Structure 1
Amino acid sequence: MFLEDAFEEYKYYCLARNFTDKTMKNKHQEYKQLKKYLTKKRSITKLEQITHHDLKAYVYQKQKSGLQPQSIVSMAKQIIAFFNWCVKEEYLMANPMDKVTLPKVPKKTKQGFTEDEVYRMIRCWSDKSYLEMRGKTMVAMMADLGLRAMEVRGMTVDDIRDTTILIRGKGNKERVVFASHQLKRILVKYERIRKQFLKSKGYDDPHYFLNYKGDPITHATVHNIVKEAADRTGVKDAHPHKFRHFYSTEVVSNTKANMDIYSLSRLLGHADISTTQRYLQSLTDEKLKVKANSSSPLSKFRF
């Protein structure tokens, strides 16, 4: 089978599984680069010609170009997934990536915002205009629910219920999260201002968050709103994903919540609990101390 034909068939397999546009774009870019390398550098045009030696050379080339270990591993996962599909479809007997050694990725502690930073980033927005109230609501929602930027951007009006919110995560997997009373107060005010804003535009759109024209926001808009909040408050190294780290550590360290890691993993929409565990590595010693003291086995005893 020609390599190009295999990639084309795999593309439609992925589309049938409802992968997101971002995932499909990443896959397309990686397979395009791999095909170019195999055809130009290794004179390979057919799937059966590929060996683990070819793929080792491809990974080595990526390393020589200065690509970081994390990026190489992410790239390799795309290739592994493709060849696993080839084996499943019986186009290949084995996955040639099985014999390719990948670089070790240094473990980095994922840091979130502090409570003070989140408080200031919410408070820096006023409620005097739609765009200001939109900024406040988006920051509050990411902090209170630990949402991804794509999940905020794709939210619709119908997804917002009384106390629950339907979230469409990676791979269009749905989950339900629960809005606190504090967040609900902000949502009610936002929805009132949003309604007035759309009335002035003369039309409606089902997306919950809109731009100044009344159209759905882009992925870049979410990042820009977080950056704007950070600029107003002097918060450093701000990006949407840090709200997920903040949410994770705050929920787990809250002794009243008594949240276990399995429940947290479901609320975050993680497919693998090991991802959730990495989020919790940034728990401070002080928060661990409070959590340990509140859960002491001897706390019920009176000596």
Structure 2
Amino acid sequence: MRKVSFAEFGGPDVLRLVDAEEPHAGPGRIRVAVRAAGVNPVDWRIREGQKLSAHPIALPSGVGLDAAGVVDEVGEGVEGVAVGDRVFGEGASTYAEFAVLTAWARMPEGLTFEEAAGYPSVVETAVRVIREVGVRPGQTLLVSGAAGGVGSAVLQIARERGVTVIGTAGAANQDYLRGLGALATTYGAGWVERVRALGAVDAALDLAGAGVLPELVELVGDPRGVITIADLSAPDHGVRFSGVAGSVPDALAEAVDLIARGRLHIPVEKSYPLEEAAAAHVDSQAGHTRGRRVLVVV
């Protein structure tokens, strides 16, 4: 099978499309014929060697955590899913023609493989950080970097839980944020004052690592009310860094329910063929994504 792999840590140029042995589903696992794989910032951080403590790997290594596809192997002890089912979920080395998943759910009706591949990690992250920051119905949550995949999920999930959300993003994404139910404002000089003009903030999330933790702490009034998933300087500001995954099956179940009710939609900004994984990483690292980037396996 074809698989994207890297034999050394480094930039996007270390990625190679290679021929590899097919993986197989062990106990408690399923294998899918991958139709699309989600591109996440953690993918290129692992490729660069940034995340070795949380994701220890041996080289050469595959790439990718998220996938959508068709079940073609069911491991021992797995129930509730059968060969031929369309699923999306998390696993390992998903930039490939076949991948083993450790957590999955059936795809909701009407969702394409490309769309489905964009949900698993971002929904898990969104559910986790909303829980960790402790925001409650009736309160206001500030989201810095709100237009990307995780931000898109946070805005919609928080809205469904009765939380008012203020989102910051570039000028081109203001209408996008408002369409997801958020109060929107732009980055840049004076952004703190613009946020204050929209209302008092009870909690804040930093999803972009744009160096705004001091301002978020100032707006919330307590570093314990700020969570980041992207700024490693968090301890210097008394802020918590969220990096330990929660329950992927629970997050997928919530996503399936919201998608089925038309209350959650994360758009795909751009799709790439498998052989253009390096280009997908370049674009992901550049930021300013609206929604998700995915690789399509033909």
Q: Is TM > 0.5 for Structure 1 vs Structure 2?
A: no
TM-score of the two chains, using structure 2 as the length reference: 0.29
The structure in which a higher percent of residues are strand is 2
Task: Provide the TM-score with structure 1 as the length reference.
Answer: 0.28
- Kindly name which structure, 1 or 2, has the bigger radius of gyration based on alpha carbons: 1
